[in-house]
Chains A and B, each alone.
Chain A
Amino acid sequence: MQTGLWPCPGSSEEYALSFDRGRKHRLLVVRALFDEGSSLRHFTVEVMRQLDAHGVDTFLPDLPGTNESLVPLELQTLNDWKEAIKAASDHFGPSHMFTLRGGALIASDSLPVIQYAPASGASLLRAMLRAKVLTLREAGRDDTREDLFERGQTEGLRLAGYKLGPAMIADLQNAEIPHENAVEIAQGDVGGAGLWLQAEPAHDARQAETLARLVLERLR
């Protein structure tokens, strides 16, 4: 496993984690978004490790505004993230894209895409807005999801610990799962509960192995 930098538009450079041995199949891994990305972090790297063991190269770029990035998250839009993924793709030269959950929303369809349990922007936003409503209620406030969405579209909002700008919130509400050039792996194919559902998921080696195997099947 290596870490390295890649040139990202709108920022200077971002980090990426990779297993690169110059092999035939090279997957650009597009991480799950926001809190789901944190929940699936260990799982994502474990799937990459399994794919490496099966002879597949993988690259996991950080998105601008996340992790060690020097640009503020609240200035990012979904389109910026699409551009970032496209730039990462130009840099690493993958044969396929492999997306997890909301990562499907920012993949480039110029390559074949394998989507794991893809989620629409509206469903990600709905869960995060609802959590915010409940947190505010504990603090004695009575905002509804509609109030928060309205406010978010002008002022931005901190959701699930992430400061999202107005454009990102509007983008999410409208972001549908793309089907062009894509095949899907559903959670039902992997079996068990999706680890993004849990705030602090236990590691699940069986799910990581199964998902890696299902990805391999779709590369042939």
Chain B
Amino acid sequence: MASDLPAPTATAEDTDLILRQVLADVLGLPAERVAEFDEDSGLFGHLPELDSMAVATLLTEIEDRLDIVIEDDEVDGEMLETYGGLHTFVMTKRSDG
């Protein structure tokens, strides 16, 4: 499932799995659909389920499940536009933390 990710380390795969799980949980999408997401899969602005309340819930769940803190000013279009963007952001956060 994580074969097309840049850093195939245990942490990258673990982050990938948790991120996909949070997306499925928050957006109510079937696991099969979320499993098909690749780096370029569009999120904010592409998925009608992802409104501002859903983004807020998504970020709060990511914080709780991955034990990171996401500041308001880190949330921008680039980070939320694609699955790859979100994954990269979260990976950076985890390695910083």
Q: Bound state CA distance, A134 and B59, in angstroms?
A: 11
Is there contact, CB below 8 Å, between A198 and B26?
yes
Residues of B within 8 A of A135 (CB): 52
Confirm or deny: B7 has a beta carbon within 8 angstroms of a beta carbon on chain A. no
Q: Bound state CA distance, A154 and B64, in angstroms?
A: 29
Residues of B within 8 A of A194 (CB): 25
* Chain A 130-155 per-residue mask, 1 if CB under 8 angstroms from chain B, else 0: 11011100100000110000000000
* Minimal Cβ-Cβ distance residue in A for B60: A127
Confirm or deny: B10 has a beta carbon within 8 angstroms of a beta carbon on chain A. no
Is there contact, CB below 8 Å, between B56 and A201?
no
Is there contact, CB below 8 Å, between A130 and B59?
yes
* Minimal Cβ-Cβ distance residue in A for B70: A130
Q: Bound state CA distance, A35 and B55, in angstroms?
A: 14
Confirm or deny: A3 has a beta carbon within 8 angstroms of a beta carbon on chain B. no
Is there contact, CB below 8 Å, between A197 and B57?
yes
Query: What is the predominant secondary structure among interface residues of chain A facing chain B?
Result: helix
Query: What is the predominant secondary structure among interface residues of chain B facing chain A?
Result: helix
Confirm or deny: A128 has a beta carbon within 8 angstroms of a beta carbon on chain B. yes
Size of the B side of the interface (Cβ < 8 Å), in residues, is: 20
* Chain A 73-112 per-residue mask, 1 if CB under 8 angstroms from chain B, else 0: 0000000000000000000000000000000000000000
Confirm or deny: B97 has a beta carbon within 8 angstroms of a beta carbon on chain A. no
Confirm or deny: A179 has a beta carbon within 8 angstroms of a beta carbon on chain B. no
Confirm or deny: B72 has a beta carbon within 8 angstroms of a beta carbon on chain A. yes
Q: Bound state CA distance, A133 and B72, in angstroms?
A: 8
Expressed in whole angstroms, the minimum distance between the Cβ of B90 and any Cβ of chain A is 16
Residues of B within 8 A of A198 (CB): 25-28
* Minimal Cβ-Cβ distance residue in B for A131: B56
Q: Bound state CA distance, A10 and B75, in angstroms?
A: 42
Which of B's residues lie within 8 Å of A, judged by CB? 24-28, 49, 51-57, 59-61, 64, 72-73, 75
Which of A's residues lie within 8 Å of B, judged by CB? 35, 123, 126-128, 130-131, 133-135, 138, 144-145, 160, 193-194, 197-202
